[in-house]
Amino acid sequence: MWKLATSLALSILFVGCTVNQDLMFRSGADYAYEKLNETTNEAYRLAPNDRLQLQLFSNRGQRLMAMTAGSVEENRGDNLFQQQRAMFTYRVELDGTVELPEVGAVKLAGLTLDEAEQTIEAAYESEYVDPYALLQVVNNRVLVFPGEAGQATVITLQNQNTTVIEALAQAGGIRQRGRSKQIKLIRQRGDENLVYHMDLSTVEGLKDARIIVQANDIIYVDSNPQVVRELLADVSPLAQLVTTFTSLWLTYQVLLAQD
């Protein structure tokens, strides 16, 4: 009977073991990381499912500049103000195009913001005199895993110059279980994932911390293994089961002895 109980206990422990099961993106000791000094702060290129806000003006934005300088007549300024408020959001389709009013589908995927603005201006040349486009991506985001389960944060990029340390700060910083000397910056380039290693445990790491993040980057802080605590958490229900089984077995033996 004890053999049966032992086999049952080991089976439950093996199947239900959750020790460090929350760890992600593990890499071996000999993993070849990309070189941080070769990381370029290149401009973001539009991709399918990006959401864009577009403002379009004629005469190279003359009315926009006039309003900014305070020289627009009151009623014209109100009209322009209403125009700015009525910005619409456009989605980059899976084929890389954006459906724009009056001109139809325009291919924007793969272009930087500057290139996309120039493309939009060229598309509207037949409709407006010297069109001037202002384009903004409103769903650029970075995923931050600060080193503890259940604490991941999605950071929406408010500007194009957000650094790694700023993104970590917006996520609440590195958690107690996180390892500041083991931080991965994961960046997708085409079909390839580039993984960079950062050590922010010393002042020398500030140089790496000031690298500008790009849309869809992943900042992952490795967690300190908690083998003992998690093993105890797994063993605790098993210990209760063994205790209950032992109590029942002893009670059974006492009843046999009384008979």
Residues in the chain where the model's pLDDT stays below 50: 12-13, 15, 72, 74-75, 77-86
Whether 81 and 129 map to the same domain: the answer is: yes
Whether 145 and 32 map to the same domain: the answer is: yes
The rounded mean pLDDT for the chain is: 79
Whether 159 and 188 map to the same domain: the answer is: yes
End-of-domain residue from the set 108, 137, 166:
137
Whether 30 and 149 map to the same domain: the answer is: yes
Can you state the percent helix, strand and coil of the chain, rounding each to 5?
35, 25, 40
Whether 183 and 199 map to the same domain: the answer is: yes
Whether 133 and 157 map to the same domain: the answer is: no
**What is the structure's pLDDT at 158?**
80
**What is the structure's pLDDT at 200?**
93
Whether 56 and 127 map to the same domain: the answer is: yes
End-of-domain residue from the set 72, 102, 137:
137
| Strand 218-223 versus strand 141-145 pairing type | parallel
For residue 158, being part of any structural domain is answered with: yes
User: From CA 92, how far away is CA 215, in angstroms rounded?
Assistant: 15
End-of-domain residue from the set 113, 137, 161:
137
Whether 171 and 184 map to the same domain: the answer is: yes
**What is the structure's pLDDT at 80?**
44
For residue 155, being part of any structural domain is answered with: yes
Structure tokens at 257: 């002895």
Whether 149 and 179 map to the same domain: the answer is: yes
For residue 166, being part of any structural domain is answered with: yes
Angle at 185 between CA 179 and CA 190, to 5 degrees: 155
**What is the structure's pLDDT at 145?**
94
Whether 234 and 12 have beta carbons less than 8 Å apart is answered as: no
For residue 186, being part of any structural domain is answered with: yes
**What is the structure's pLDDT at 86?**
47
Range of the domain at 104: 51-137
**What is the structure's pLDDT at 248?**
73
Nearest to 235 by CA among 20, 1, 16: 16
For residue 160, being part of any structural domain is answered with: yes
Total-model pTM: 0.65
For residue 20, being part of any structural domain is answered with: no
Give pLDDT tens digits for 224-259.
Answer: 876 555 555 555 666 676 677 677 777 766 777 776
Give pLDDT tens digits for 53-75.
Answer: 998 888 776 665 555 555 545 44
Whether 153 and 218 map to the same domain: the answer is: yes
**What is the structure's pLDDT at 77?**
45
Helices (H), 197-226: 206-209
For residue 91, being part of any structural domain is answered with: yes
**What is the structure's pLDDT at 20?**
59
Whether 168 and 192 map to the same domain: the answer is: yes
User: From CA 5, how far away is CA 224, in angstroms rounded?
Assistant: 34
Whether 100 and 171 have beta carbons less than 8 Å apart is answered as: no
Whether 119 and 131 map to the same domain: the answer is: yes
What CATH number is associated with residue 199?
Answer: 3.10.560.10
**What is the structure's pLDDT at 196?**
93
Q: Into how many domains does the chain fold?
A: 3
For residue 79, being part of any structural domain is answered with: yes
